[in-house]
Chains A and B, each alone.
Chain A
Amino acid sequence: MKKFILLFVAVALIIIICIQFFRPNLKNPPVTQDFQAPEDVKAILVRSCYDCHSNQTNLRWFDQVQPVFWQVAAHVRDGRKVLNFSNWDKLAPADQKAKLWEAVNQIEQSAMPIKSYEMVHTSAKVSAQDLAVLKQYLNGMVHSMPNDTAKINARDQQLKAMPEALKTKVTESLNGITYIPDYKNWQVISTSDRFDNGTTRVIYGNDIAVKAVKEHHINPWPNGTIFAKAAWDKLEDKDGNVTTGAFKQVEYMIKDAQKYKATKGWGFARFKTPKLVPYGKTAMFTTECINCHKPMKNNDFVFTFPIKN
């Protein structure tokens, strides 16, 4: 018996030693433009996020022991793909801002840094105080712009083009979901004032969604649930009255646990401007939707707190 255990341990040891020689190829590509921010803000992100979200990855020896190293390398590769502070110039200014708000939200909802990483790299933990510093930085980027002529013009242009735009044929997104015009007849389940990006939204639910809200059967949401979220520019006057400006987009989430298994049970689609141009360069655009909705995984990936009407 003892012999067997010894043999087993020996074999395991040999395997572990052998796999040390199969190492993922993890390099630090050049930094094209590093993210810039006040020192305290930057320090937090460098300490907590740069290992996976920059080209300045600094792995400790224990990250490089196999088989852990494979996982670490996969995290770094995937992390860089979705957010890379070393290629900050690759993002348009509006997208840079959006990524920062998303980053702080991922921290607040305890989705980032990744838990398994944080457990080992305890210094990567973002404290409540750090989070407050980050939030204050973002709040400082919010400016109200009364009577914004560019936005007023954008709305007027859309109004002028309206009858033409409405003739648009049925549009389909790359994952095969078509625009659903009927959302305009659905009930409202909430509205949202997005001061992070200067838009306002109305969130509609179809009959199945509304019934589920009335019965509190919303976690998980039943199959057949559809949400539509419409977004507009915020137009503010000098008295602080905000009305809707140009129509930005309508987005859908369609619940079908079987059909959309690969995307957490939801079919995602987004159609932009009154021309309803499908969003996304490839069908993989849904990864973006899911990554941002992921911190809501305990709520069936839904952010909205529905209102009963």
Chain B
Amino acid sequence: MKRLSFFIISGLIVLSSCEHPTNPDQLINNKASLPASFKLSDLHQKVITSFINNRDSTMSILYGNKQAGIIAGKDVRSGVPGASFTLVTWHQQNDPHWFGARIPGELIYVETLHTDTAEDKIIDYQKYSGKNLVKLADTAGRSSRIHFILSQNPSIIP
């Protein structure tokens, strides 16, 4: 009996001190991930800035192509044709790895904005919603969102 409990206890000690690498699937932030079909990474846009909204507990990253980088923050709608912006917004969640940090949780929406290639003022604004980024037909608040995106100042990124 004594011997048995000795084996059980030492077995438990060995088990508990044995470290296993975490399964990679558990390390991917799935709820914050964009569907592969959206192909954001293929656009090769650069980070223009990132921001947080404390009231809504959301965090966002604004990306853009080269032309977008030029007009970012200036709130102008023409002058640099072919600018393309992508704004990704998430709910925040506590970082399970660091008490003191909040990281992206559920993906809420992605907005895209393209200025026309002609010298025109026409702007194409689209909004995609939820985990699967379903394109919204109704883009209420369109003009205020366009204004919002175009007026975000670029971060200092040396």
Contact = CB atoms under 8 A, between A and B. Distances in A.
Contacts of A101: 99-100
Contacts of B24: 216-219
B128 to A, nearest CB: 14
A214 B22 CA distance: 17
Nearest to A144: B54
A247 B155 contact: yes
B100 A230 contact: no
A178 to B, nearest CB: 14
A254 to B, nearest CB: 19
A306 B104 CA distance: 10
Interface string B121-155: 00000000000000000000000000000001101
Given A184-B157, A213-B28, A305 B103 contact: yes
B19 A298 contact: yes
B97 A193 contact: no
Contacts of B156: 155, 158-159, 162, 232, 244, 246-247, 274
A243 B21 contact: no
Given A242-B51, A299-B22, A305 B27 contact: yes
A257 to B, nearest CB: 14
Interface string B30-61: 10111010101100101101111111000101
B97 A303 contact: yes
B103 A309 contact: no
B117 interface: no
Interface in A165-219: 165-166, 168, 184-185, 187-188, 190-197, 200, 202, 204, 210, 213-214, 216-219
A42 interface: no
Contact of A240 (B30, B54, B97): B54
A219 B157 contact: no
Most-contacted residue by chain A among B21, B50, B155 (CB, 10 A): B50
A232 B157 CA distance: 9
A297 interface: yes
26 contacts: A158-B156, A162-B156, A166-B158, A187-B41, A188-B47, A192-B101, A193-B101, A193-B103, A202-B50, A202-B61, A213-B28, A216-B24, A218-B27, A219-B21, A219-B23, A219-B24, A220-B21, A241-B53, A243-B49, A247-B156, A250-B158, A296-B97, A298-B20, A298-B21, A305-B97, A309-B41
